[in-house]
Chain A
């Protein structure tokens, strides 16, 4: 079942089998750096990344630009929390929990109920957050109870149903009544408004305690960072404890786990409850950050994005979950916006786009000389096409760039590179690009499919025109016409590529399922 190539070799003592390989790897600069890294104690690595995170806000000022940047960071950290929580059920215990998004929503709505004018309750965050987190964990236990015997896709359907129920309650919860008989039963209203329906709950209080209120963007960044650090540390210790080992054991073999004295049903409930608590914590922070709770922040699409983060980073790896969350939320959700809310930040989409492609290539292609060959191939291919097109057509190759500054000259060094690499049809935007865009898009999709189907040098050769076409499609129309779907599309492409090359995710360890 596993490839003869890089996959885990079952029954083969890899340490012995690869001792030669290791000795070789140690020789190069990469090997020496890795060796150096492995000698650094793990808590020091953790502290380093926390310190880097903590320094981010200090690099920003109180301008609109920087506040936007900081908000992107805070949102990424909220997603990191969510990915960490999901990793407990999905990565550790191996439970396909599709109801996870409900706990995020419960956290947000729970906070909104107890800290807004909606129901006239304004309790302090020091009370509300622990309360909501605990309540969410209990609800997690309760919801997992009927599905505790289920695994795999059966569990997925049941939990998906719970997630959907939450969304229905959130959107329809503004007209709750007893079968429409409220008046007849003697209540003073025909129906009650609990959740605010599609409009959600606005004017939610900021996080505050003992007279202090966190109102600045910076404060929320730090609050969320502290939450991530605490949850990360807690889950790392949990993973190494008897409970963590039991979760991973039941992920590998439920029957054997039972036979080895582990109460698997209880362990599953516990995994869901811990995840629910973390998700609720993220929800409370999000509600305070947005000063509101709105149903569409807690729907299935968001769930899928959180899953993408966990899978991309590597299910089972906590560092991977954080990396996946930061990559997806910063690059895909924010970076690829054609225009940020702030005027002069437009154009970073192009940087992000090419950086993402480069990152995927660097992360997935080994050894280095193969990577160099592909990157060189991409550069030569583009310049070649550019030269040929420029020489044969009168229309020119200086079509408009649709992201960022309007002409190549204003596009900076990257714009200059792109101009000489791509061959964009000249003329006005409307006339020039539509046909070529359509052809390129179909070609790109076909090429991407081929790339996932073939192996070896053919794949390497196909990657070259695929990247070029991706650049073409990006620069001509895609981003400006449909930025939302494009971002999800790119996320999908990135996932496909990473999963084909590195099924275990960026930081995950390769898994063996059955022998």
Chain B
């Protein structure tokens, strides 16, 4: 079976800095793949390439068998790729519920005129959008429910903002979720929770997930497969144990001397 997301020989450079070079990567349907690597390894650049914010210098990115290189970001999202951001990028001045509702834009069709005249299609879609928002927010139990629905997003705690980012991404009805450091800045309890949550996203939501994560407990807990990057080059791929013990990975994180001392 062909992979859902397939990168072949993708390269991207900014000026003289080669951020990603000749990268091959694939994510299968329903698979959770983790991307690890030291700071500046090119992980977020990889996400930006897949979601169309950057265009690769070379190579091809295929989603569901079709090339998505050169498509506008919103069109890629409409194909079924959704992401969260490492530096939270919520619509801070909109309510929690509206944040999620806004993300259904690509799945609704009512024109502005239809909305202004409240024609049947607009009303129907609005009802559905409300239902989608309620469903996506209830995924996190009580955390984002109740009075919080109508609170501005900026009033949420850090961990809740991370949750809202995930809820918002799932509201675009994706097949592939790109999570950029979902556990960053969370305490151990919340980190544990997010680990279970990512597994639940795959099991209940049916999403394939590509996740960047620094917390190795999370990576170990969720990954079907782990890909390690350093300076834009894939240095290891395989199960968590295989990658964690790979000398090149240890070297990338701790320096050359660490491997020599062994």
Given A238-B116, A261-B78, is A256 in contact with B89 using a C-beta cutoff of 8 Å?
Answer: yes
A263 (CB) vs chain B CBs: closest residue: B74
Distance in angstroms between the alpha carbons of A18 and B169 in the assembled complex: 30
Q: Does A11 lie within 8 Å of B155, measured CB to CB?
A: yes
Report 5 cross-chain contacts, Cβ distance below 8 Å, ordered by A residue: A241-B126, A242-B108, A261-B172, A263-B72, A515-B88
Pick from B107, B154, B155: contact of A15, CB under 8 Å: B155
Point out residues on B near A: beta carbons under 8 Å. 51, 53, 72-74, 77-78, 82-83, 85, 88-94, 98-99, 101-108, 110, 112, 115-116, 118, 122, 125-126, 129, 147-148, 151-152, 154-158, 161, 168-169, 171-172
**How many interface residues does A have (CB within 8 Å)?**
40
In the complex, chain A residues whose CB is within 8 Å of the CB of B148: 13, 15
| A512, CB-defined interface residue at 8 Å | yes
Q: Does B115 lie within 8 Å of A11, measured CB to CB?
A: no
Q: Does A242 lie within 8 Å of B51, measured CB to CB?
A: no
In the complex, chain A residues whose CB is within 8 Å of the CB of B169: 260
In the complex, chain B residues whose CB is within 8 Å of the CB of A12: 155
A433 shortest CB reach to chain B, Å: 49
In the complex, chain A residues whose CB is within 8 Å of the CB of B73: 258-259
Given A13-B155, A242-B125, A261-B107, is A255 in contact with B91 using a C-beta cutoff of 8 Å?
Answer: no
A122 shortest CB reach to chain B, Å: 30
In the complex, chain B residues whose CB is within 8 Å of the CB of A15: 147-148, 151, 155
Q: Does A252 lie within 8 Å of B92, measured CB to CB?
A: yes
Pick from B88, B91, B99, B110: contact of A241, CB under 8 Å: B110
In the complex, chain B residues whose CB is within 8 Å of the CB of A14: 151-152, 155
In the complex, chain B residues whose CB is within 8 Å of the CB of A240: 115
In the complex, chain A residues whose CB is within 8 Å of the CB of B112: 238, 241, 243, 270, 274
Q: Does B152 lie within 8 Å of A241, measured CB to CB?
A: no
8 shortest A-B CB distances, which residue pairs? A261-B106, A241-B115, A256-B89, A252-B91, A261-B77, A258-B73, A260-B103, A245-B102
Q: Does A11 lie within 8 Å of B78, measured CB to CB?
A: no
**Interface membership of chain A positions 420-442, coded 1 if the CB is closer than 8 angstroms to chain B and 0 otherwise:** 00000000000000000000000
In the complex, chain B residues whose CB is within 8 Å of the CB of A261: 74, 77-78, 103-107, 172
Distance in angstroms between the alpha carbons of A253 and B74 in the assembled complex: 14
Distance in angstroms between the alpha carbons of A244 and B157 in the assembled complex: 26
| A47, CB-defined interface residue at 8 Å | no
In the complex, chain B residues whose CB is within 8 Å of the CB of A260: 74, 77, 82, 102-103, 105-106, 168-169, 171-172
Q: What would 9 more interface pairs be, CB under 8 Å, given A13-B155, A260-B172, A512-B92?
A: A8-B155, A10-B154, A13-B148, A13-B151, A15-B148, A237-B118, A245-B98, A259-B73, A274-B112
Distance in angstroms between the alpha carbons of A274 and B113 in the assembled complex: 10
In the complex, chain B residues whose CB is within 8 Å of the CB of A262: 74, 102, 105-106
Distance in angstroms between the alpha carbons of A240 and B90 in the assembled complex: 18
Q: Does A238 lie within 8 Å of B115, measured CB to CB?
A: yes
Given A259-B77, A263-B74, A274-B112, is A515 in contact with B154 using a C-beta cutoff of 8 Å?
Answer: yes
Q: Does A9 lie within 8 Å of B155, measured CB to CB?
A: yes
A-B contacts at CB below 8 angstroms, number: 140
B45 shortest CB reach to chain A, Å: 14
B162 shortest CB reach to chain A, Å: 12
Pick from A243, A248, A509, A512: contact of B115, CB under 8 Å: A243
Distance in angstroms between the alpha carbons of A242 and B154 in the assembled complex: 21
- Binding site of A, secondary structure by majority: helix, strand, loop or mixed? helix
B185 shortest CB reach to chain A, Å: 11
Q: Does A245 lie within 8 Å of B101, measured CB to CB?
A: yes
Point out residues on A near B: beta carbons under 8 Å. 8-15, 234-235, 237-238, 240-246, 248-249, 251-253, 255-264, 270, 274, 509, 511-512, 515
Given A245-B105, A246-B102, is A11 in contact with B158 using a C-beta cutoff of 8 Å?
Answer: yes
Pick from B72, B108, B152: contact of A258, CB under 8 Å: B72
A411 shortest CB reach to chain B, Å: 47
Q: Does B157 lie within 8 Å of A13, measured CB to CB?
A: yes
In the complex, chain A residues whose CB is within 8 Å of the CB of B88: 515
In the complex, chain B residues whose CB is within 8 Å of the CB of A274: 112
Q: Does A246 lie within 8 Å of B93, measured CB to CB?
A: no
A94 (CB) vs chain B CBs: closest residue: B93
In the complex, chain B residues whose CB is within 8 Å of the CB of A252: 90-94
Q: Does B74 lie within 8 Å of A241, measured CB to CB?
A: no
In the complex, chain B residues whose CB is within 8 Å of the CB of A509: 93, 152
Q: Does B102 lie within 8 Å of A249, measured CB to CB?
A: yes
Q: Does A242 lie within 8 Å of B104, measured CB to CB?
A: yes
Distance in angstroms between the alpha carbons of A77 and B86 in the assembled complex: 47
Q: Does B116 lie within 8 Å of A11, measured CB to CB?
A: no
Most chain A CB within a 10 A radius of its CB, from B74, B89, B104, B110: B74
In the complex, chain B residues whose CB is within 8 Å of the CB of A246: 102, 105
Q: Does B89 lie within 8 Å of A255, measured CB to CB?
A: yes
Given A238-B116, A262-B106, A263-B72, is A257 in contact with B77 using a C-beta cutoff of 8 Å?
Answer: no
Distance in angstroms between the alpha carbons of A101 and B103 in the assembled complex: 33
B198 shortest CB reach to chain A, Å: 19
Distance in angstroms between the alpha carbons of A261 and B17 in the assembled complex: 30
Distance in angstroms between the alpha carbons of A235 and B85 in the assembled complex: 32
In the complex, chain A residues whose CB is within 8 Å of the CB of B105: 242, 245-246, 260-262
Q: Does B122 lie within 8 Å of A241, measured CB to CB?
A: yes
Given A8-B152, A263-B72, is A255 in contact with B115 using a C-beta cutoff of 8 Å?
Answer: no
Given A242-B104, A263-B74, is A249 in contact with B94 using a C-beta cutoff of 8 Å?
Answer: yes
In the complex, chain A residues whose CB is within 8 Å of the CB of B83: 259
Distance in angstroms between the alpha carbons of A9 and B169 in the assembled complex: 25
Q: Does B103 lie within 8 Å of A241, measured CB to CB?
A: no
In the complex, chain A residues whose CB is within 8 Å of the CB of B116: 234-235, 237-238, 241
B96 shortest CB reach to chain A, Å: 11
B174 (CB) vs chain A CBs: closest residue: A261
Q: Does A512 lie within 8 Å of B93, measured CB to CB?
A: yes
In the complex, chain B residues whose CB is within 8 Å of the CB of A270: 112
In the complex, chain B residues whose CB is within 8 Å of the CB of A243: 112, 115
Distance in angstroms between the alpha carbons of A256 and B152 in the assembled complex: 17
Distance in angstroms between the alpha carbons of A257 and B72 in the assembled complex: 12
In the complex, chain B residues whose CB is within 8 Å of the CB of A11: 154-158, 161
Q: Does A512 lie within 8 Å of B154, measured CB to CB?
A: yes
B81 shortest CB reach to chain A, Å: 9
B251 shortest CB reach to chain A, Å: 34
Given A246-B102, A253-B90, is A8 in contact with B154 using a C-beta cutoff of 8 Å?
Answer: yes
Distance in angstroms between the alpha carbons of A139 and B196 in the assembled complex: 53
A2 (CB) vs chain B CBs: closest residue: B154
Distance in angstroms between the alpha carbons of A175 and B100 in the assembled complex: 55
Given A241-B115, A241-B122, is A258 in contact with B74 using a C-beta cutoff of 8 Å?
Answer: yes
B212 shortest CB reach to chain A, Å: 15
Distance in angstroms between the alpha carbons of A198 and B147 in the assembled complex: 58
Q: Does A257 lie within 8 Å of B91, measured CB to CB?
A: yes
B158 (CB) vs chain A CBs: closest residue: A11
In the complex, chain A residues whose CB is within 8 Å of the CB of B93: 248, 251-252, 509, 511-512
